[in-house]
Structure 1
Amino acid sequence: MIYHAKAVKAVKFNKLRNSPEIKKELEILHTKRSTYSDPVQKQCRTLCKTVAWPAEIERITTCKRNGVKFPDIGSYDPCKCFGDCFWDTCTNVASASFCMPQYCKLGAICSNAPRNLSSLKLFDTGRVGLGVYTTTDLDVGDAVKTNTGYTLLYNTRSVNNNYVYVDALRCGSITRFISHSSEPNATFLEQQTRSRVRVLVKMIKNVQEGAQITVHYGNERWFKCACDLCWKEPSRTGESSGDE
């Protein structure tokens, strides 16, 4: 099932930071995890039947930019974080920037640095086609993957003052298979450091190994919701409904 990037816009961090649910989870996380632990270093188990990558889709890990350039927002001082760059304490996160070694006290060994976790796997949802699940536990704020394709609609304009979107129709990372849910556990978050703009898949809820990764693609969509609340089993007439 293809989710065309033009139907969803990347989220700005300020829209998330005031969420009561995320604030509560972050308070718990400070106690639970004083230092960053790379999810791929945790014990992994295959809990779903992993399926092969579709042959007709080119698998890539970086965007095909096609000459698109973004304006340089300039240099800045490194963050002063200890243990991890949490959403509610890191100055880089507050300025909607992702961490790089030269701008991070932790050398970008933190949850605010771009990650491409190998612990994300494809599986057949049995409901809405292919989906993505995790073989490790993930915490709120964890960056799990960079959304890639042909350089989702960015909020940041290019140097030519044009809006840019990721078109993952024929190529992309595993994020192109993430299903829609009215109760998502992840989001597409736009961040920029210098002239580098990234749309990262970041967790907005804690999930355990085996959980399906889902995002909210907005109201203008034409595919079914994958969550248990919205899904209805096929009727006797062979029809099914997954609408909200």
Structure 2
Amino acid sequence: MNPSGITFKDVGDFGVCSCIGDCFLDTCSNAYSAVFCTPDTCILGAACSNAPRSLETLTLYDTGRVGLGVFTTTDLDVGDVVGENAGVLSEYDALVDGQPAGALKYNSGYTMFYNTKSANKKYVYVEAKACGFTTRFLSHSCKPNAAFVEVRNRTSVKVLVRMIDDVKAGAQITVNYGKERWFKCVCDVCWTVEAK
């Protein structure tokens, strides 16, 4: 959702990819250029692995330790896009020295900042607490099997979740939240180490 009408600078036309069968990360000119496929830019009509979508094979389960987690009901391969991290877009000015603490963005635990600034040269974040896709429930792991990837197409910016490891049906999909975590890590790696 973009209630504020935030716009981004046009990155230009990358043309139509010439993929056969699917748009793989290592063969698709769009994917290689960090451009997501759309019906206008994909020879396959964006019915491919490089198009923003949420797989219907993702399901939520209570992990017992870290709350809801996202699991797959089918095998997934490196490079597969499993979904888009979506929510409400907002923009703000850069932080400045002496700014009151109340002016800082509250992190709901579902907030993600874009690397790309808006056309107004402001910072942009997506807040997925109240709305979004299944991917907003991805759990953190210090050894993830998926990653958040920022991609563009003309004036659109999206954050997709792309697999970085092959997984079998039944696996939990995890991402690394980065170094600025607001919680004590209890992912499988850290939980196992702590238990020893």
TM-score by length of structure 2 reads 0.81
* Number of residue pairs aligned between Structure 1 and Structure 2: 173
1:114 aligns with 2:74: no
Contact 1:81-1:90 at 8 Å conserved across structures: yes
1:131 aligns with 2:60: no
Q: Tell me the equivalent position of 1:178.
A: 138
Q: Write the distance in 1 (CA, Å) between the matches of 2:70 and 2:25.
A: 24
- State how 1:9-28 maps to structure 2 within 5 Å: none
Question: 1 or 2, which has the higher strand percentage?
Answer: 2
- Specify the SS of the correspondent of 2:31: helix
Q: Write the distance in 2 (CA, Å) between the matches of 1:208 and 1:216.
A: 19
Contact 1:128-1:224 at 8 Å conserved across structures: no
Unaligned runs of 5+ in 1: 1-62, 234-240
Q: Tell me the equivalent position of 1:163.
A: 123
Question: 1 or 2, which has the higher helix percentage?
Answer: 1
Letter in 2 for 1:120: L
Contact 2:34-2:150 at 8 Å conserved across structures: yes
Q: Write the distance in 1 (CA, Å) between the matches of 2:66 and 2:159.
A: 24
Q: Write the distance in 1 (CA, Å) between the matches of 2:164 and 2:14.
A: 27
Runs of 4 or more above 6 Å deviation: none
Contact 2:54-2:133 at 8 Å conserved across structures: no
Q: Tell me the equivalent position of 1:70.
A: 8
Tell me the percent identity: 59
- State how 1:95-244 maps to structure 2 within 5 Å: 95-151=33-89, 152-232=112-192
Deviation of residue 224 (structure 1)?
4.1
Contact 2:14-2:30 at 8 Å conserved across structures: no
Cα distance per residue 1:3-29 (max 9 Å; x no partner): xxxxxxxxxxxxxxxxxxxxxxxxxxx
Q: Write the distance in 2 (CA, Å) between the matches of 1:155 and 1:219.
A: 16
Q: Write the distance in 2 (CA, Å) between the matches of 1:226 and 1:102.
A: 43
